[in-house]
Amino acid sequence: MEFGPHLMLAALEGAVTAAILALTAMGLSIVFGVMRVVNVAHGEFYMLGAVLAWWVATVLGTHPAIGFVAALIIAPALVGGIAMVADRLVLKRVAYDADRTIVATIGMLYIIQQTTLMTFGPDARPVEPPFNTRLALPWFEWGENGFAMFWPWGLSTTSYKLFVIAAAAVVLVALWLVITRTKAGLLMRATQQDSETAQAFGVPVGRVYSLVFGLGAGLAALGAVLVVPIQQAHYLMGHDPLLLSFIVVIIGGLGSLPGTVIAALLIGMSDGIISVFFSPTLAKIIATLLVALVLVFRPQGLMGRAQT
Amino acid sequence: MLEVQGIHAAYGQVQALYGVSFTARPGEILCLLGRNGAGKTTTLKTIMGLLPLSEGSVSLEGEVLNLLSPHEVPKRGIGYIPQGRRLFPELSVAENIEIGLMTRGEGKDTRDWVLDLFPRLRERLGQAAGTLSGGEQQMLATARALCLRPKVLLLDEPTEGLQPSIIALIRDVVLKMKAEGIAIVLVEQRVETVMAIADQAVFIENGRNVDAMSAAELQADPGKLKAYLGV
């Protein structure tokens, strides 16, 4: 395949990675932005979403589309619920202290991971995509006979991958509308800016924290449900999303939602393209290098606010 | 009527209040006075439930407030204007007002009422609160607290660092609220403001009540007020 179509193929793979990463990193960013909690267990909520998606689809045992839709609703809701309980039982008890919440979420990481291993076992679990039509993609080129369209061999994607990109975009837009246009979003933003004053104006800050922690975990789980028809569910699959989410949140700016989306696109696309042309390891090295550069030259991230 | 009876409070291991007491009556302005670090702001925070009290009680019209969750306290009708305004800086003026309105489920009438009190805010509704001038920020902090249609208003140094015209405006609004029957607790360092509007003054030092004076006593002996404030 020529370079152009090959690049397009790599960019499509990158767009799928970016879509999943944007959802996952958004969860981490919201939790940090509102609660100032660095959730080290975020990757495990992602993993739990993937494993529960397999479990829901298997238990229902019906048509793949029905199992997938059920998983899309049930798994994020269950994971969000578990996160809310964890917030009440653990984070609230350490008074959301920055240092102690890091230790507490490391504890959560191992509890979730090992419980999943003991409950569902160590095997990787596939989930069948609800639809997976292969779509050939056209390529346009200016040649001797003018502008021409042709169909390069191997330039194709699947309808499911396009669905993942579209679904992530819809969820992110919906999230943006909730945060900026609804009363619940207003309460979240007020809590983010000054939780003590918010409380002095009747905002139930504890409940907002629970909801935000649940929402953050639910977003990670949603990303995982979307990814399991492409990548199998496994009890150790939470590490990479956690690392990449941290990279995205640091590059985008801690707590900045637009910054998170931009950084997810940057990292996801570069990950996809570099992985296709070179190797996935090189993609991770470059992403980590990018974080180092951001920390040195712009510690507040692309769209974060400098601390004064 | 807001009754504060022998409240003790601490920041972690550091005890800040040792039995502060006073009663704020409807339609009266009670000035809480003392030097920096005396415990005035801590007293207001403790009333709001933002700092837990270890002894004593705070009650409004007979209901004990310190048994409630902190976010329930303002819903009983206590409006709070914190020191330094503490606006939500990235929210717009309209959104800051909306937060105030949501506290007790107030609606458009109350919104119009506070915007009539501070017409300049009406011109700035879409602007981020953090970009307002100091005077406008104080107007917004006051408007936000009034959105609760409060029974009690707690003001923590509302005239600090403001130009005279804004101080006069804030003072007029405070007097209007007094005329509407709101009980007002005012932490203030400006002698002339205290002399002009206080119905009673409570002096605290090192977290303890040390004296109290009526308006007539303040007028009769302004030197005592200056001595307590250290000016």
Question: Which pLDDT band holds residue A272 (cuts at 50, 70, 90)?
Answer: confident
What is the pLDDT averaged over residues A265-282? Answer: 91
d(Cα A292, Cα B1) in Å, to the nearest integer?
59
Least Cα separation, residue A28 to chain B (angstroms): 21
Does the CA dihedral B130-B136-B139-B140 come out positive or negative? Answer: negative
pLDDT at A308 over 60: no
Among A86-100, A111-125, A135-149, B63-77, where is mean pLDDT lowest? A135-149
Chain B residues whose CB is inside 8 A of the A203 CB are 71, 99
Among A22-31, A145-154, A240-249, where is mean pLDDT lowest? A145-154
Write the CB contacts of A300 (distance below 8 Å, at least 6 apart in sequence).
A253, A254, A306, A307
Question: Which pLDDT band holds residue A307 (cuts at 50, 70, 90)?
Answer: low
| For chain A, percent of residues with pLDDT exceeding 90 | 75
Nearest to A190 among B72, B82, B88 (CB): B88
Closest CA to B182 of B3, B26, B1, B23: B26
Mean pLDDT across chain A: 93
d(Cα A134, Cα A159) in Å, to the nearest integer?
6
Question: Which pLDDT band holds residue A114 (cuts at 50, 70, 90)?
Answer: very high
Question: Which pLDDT band holds residue A1 (cuts at 50, 70, 90)?
Answer: low
The tokens describing A248, both together, are 């995205």
User: Is residue A188 included in any domain, yes or no?
Assistant: yes
User: Is residue A79 included in any domain, yes or no?
Assistant: yes
Predicted-complex ipTM score: 0.93
Chain A residues whose CB is inside 8 A of the B95 CB are 186, 189-190
Instruction: Domain of residue A275: give its range.
Output: 12-130+161-297
Q: Name the 3-class secondary structure at B82.
A: coil
What is the pLDDT averaged over residues A270-288? Answer: 89
Q: Which pLDDT does position A306 carry in this prediction?
A: 66
- DSSP state at residue B118: S
pLDDT at B114 over 60: yes
pLDDT at B230 over 80: no
The residue written with tokens 């209007």 in the block is B176
Q: What is the 3-state secondary structure (H, E, C) of chain A?
A: CCHHHHHHHHHHHHHHHHHHHHHHHHHHHHHHHHHCCCCCCHHHHHHHHHHHHHHHHHHHCCCHHHHHHHHHHHHHHHHHHHHHHHHHHHHHHHCCCHHHHHHHHHHHHHHHHHHHHHHHCCCCECCCCCCCCEEECCEEEEECCEEEEECCCCCEEEHHHHHHHHHHHHHHHHHHHHHHHCHHHHHHHHHHHCHHHHHHCCCCHHHHHHHHHHHHHHHHHHHHHHHCCCCCECCCCCHHHHHHHHHHHHHHCCCCHHHHHHHHHHHHHHHHHHHHHCCHHHHHHHHHHHHHHHHHHCCCCCCCCCCC
**CATH code of A259's domain:** 1.10.3470
User: pLDDT tens digits for A61-103?
Assistant: 888 899 999 999 999 999 999 999 999 999 999 999 999 999 9
Write the CB contacts of B214 (distance below 8 Å, at least 6 apart in sequence).
B199, B200
Q: Which pLDDT does position B182 carry in this prediction?
A: 96
pLDDT at A281 over 70: yes
Q: Which pLDDT does position A2 carry in this prediction?
A: 79
List of domains in chain B: 2-77+150-229 (3.40.50.300), 89-149 (no CATH)
Q: Which pLDDT does position B21 carry in this prediction?
A: 95
User: Is residue A111 included in any domain, yes or no?
Assistant: yes
Question: Which pLDDT band holds residue A304 (cuts at 50, 70, 90)?
Answer: confident
- Residue B144 CB burial class (10 angstroms; 0-12, 13-18, ≥19): buried
Q: Which pLDDT does position B221 carry in this prediction?
A: 84
Q: Which residue of A has its CA nearest to B105?
A: A202
pLDDT at A169 over 80: yes
Q: Under an 8 Å CB criterion, which residues of A touch B?
A: 183, 186-187, 189-190, 193-194, 196-205
Among A144-148, A285-289, B51-55, where is mean pLDDT lowest? A144-148
The residue written with tokens 């996809």 in the block is A272
Q: Which pLDDT does position B17 carry in this prediction?
A: 95
Question: Which pLDDT band holds residue B218 (cuts at 50, 70, 90)?
Answer: confident
The tokens describing B171, both together, are 């003072």
User: Is residue A308 included in any domain, yes or no?
Assistant: no
User: Is residue A59 included in any domain, yes or no?
Assistant: yes
User: pLDDT tens digits for B142-177?
Assistant: 999 999 999 999 999 998 888 999 999 999 999 999
Q: How many domains does chain A have?
A: 1
Mean pLDDT across chain B: 93
Chain B residues whose CB is inside 8 A of the A182 CB are none
d(Cα A47, Cα A227) in Å, to the nearest integer?
10
Q: What is the CA radius of gyration of chain B?
A: 17
Nearest to B103 among A193, A194, A202 (CB): A202
User: pLDDT tens digits for A212-250?
Assistant: 999 999 999 999 999 999 999 999 999 999 999 999 999
Least Cα separation, residue A297 to chain B (angstroms): 25
Residue of A197, A208, A305 to mutate when probing chain B, most B C-beta within 10 A: A197
Nearest to B50 among A187, A190, A199 (CB): A199
A44 residue type, one letter = E
Least Cα separation, residue B230 to chain A (angstroms): 30
d(Cα A109, Cα B162) in Å, to the nearest integer?
51
Tell me whether residues B50 and A189 touch, CB distance under 8 A: no
pLDDT at A200 over 90: yes
A90 residue type, one letter = V
Q: Which pLDDT does position B215 carry in this prediction?
A: 85
What is the pLDDT averaged over residues B87-93? Answer: 96
CB B129 within 8 A of CB B88: yes
Q: Name the 3-class secondary structure at B63.
A: strand
Distance, C-alpha B156 to centroid of its chain? 5
Among A132-141, A159-168, B56-65, B72-81, where is mean pLDDT lowest? A132-141
Tell me whether residues A197 and B86 touch, CB distance under 8 A: yes
d(Cα A117, Cα B187) in Å, to the nearest integer?
59
Residue of B44, B45, B71 to mutate when probing chain A, most A C-beta within 10 A: B71
pLDDT at A105 over 70: yes
User: pLDDT tens digits for B32-62?
Assistant: 998 888 999 999 999 999 999 999 999 999 9
- In terms of DSSP H, where are the helices of chain B? 40-47, 93-103, 108-117, 119-122, 134-146, 164-179, 191-197, 215-220, 222-229
CB B167 within 8 A of CB B193: yes
The DSSP element (H or E) to which B199 belongs, if any, is none
Q: Which pLDDT does position B227 carry in this prediction?
A: 80
d(Cα B46, Cα B142) in Å, to the nearest integer?
20
Question: Which pLDDT band holds residue A36 (cuts at 50, 70, 90)?
Answer: very high
What is the pLDDT averaged over residues A182-195? Answer: 96
The residue written with tokens 């998983």 in the block is A71
d(Cα B180, Cα A145) in Å, to the nearest integer?
85
What is the pLDDT averaged over residues A97-119? Answer: 96
pLDDT at B188 over 90: no
Least Cα separation, residue B65 to chain A (angstroms): 13
B76 residue type, one letter = R
Closest CA to A45 of A98, A103, A94, A113: A113
pLDDT at A48 over 70: yes
Nearest to A202 among B71, B82, B95 (CB): B71
d(Cα A263, Cα A143) in Å, to the nearest integer?
36
User: Is residue A107 included in any domain, yes or no?
Assistant: yes
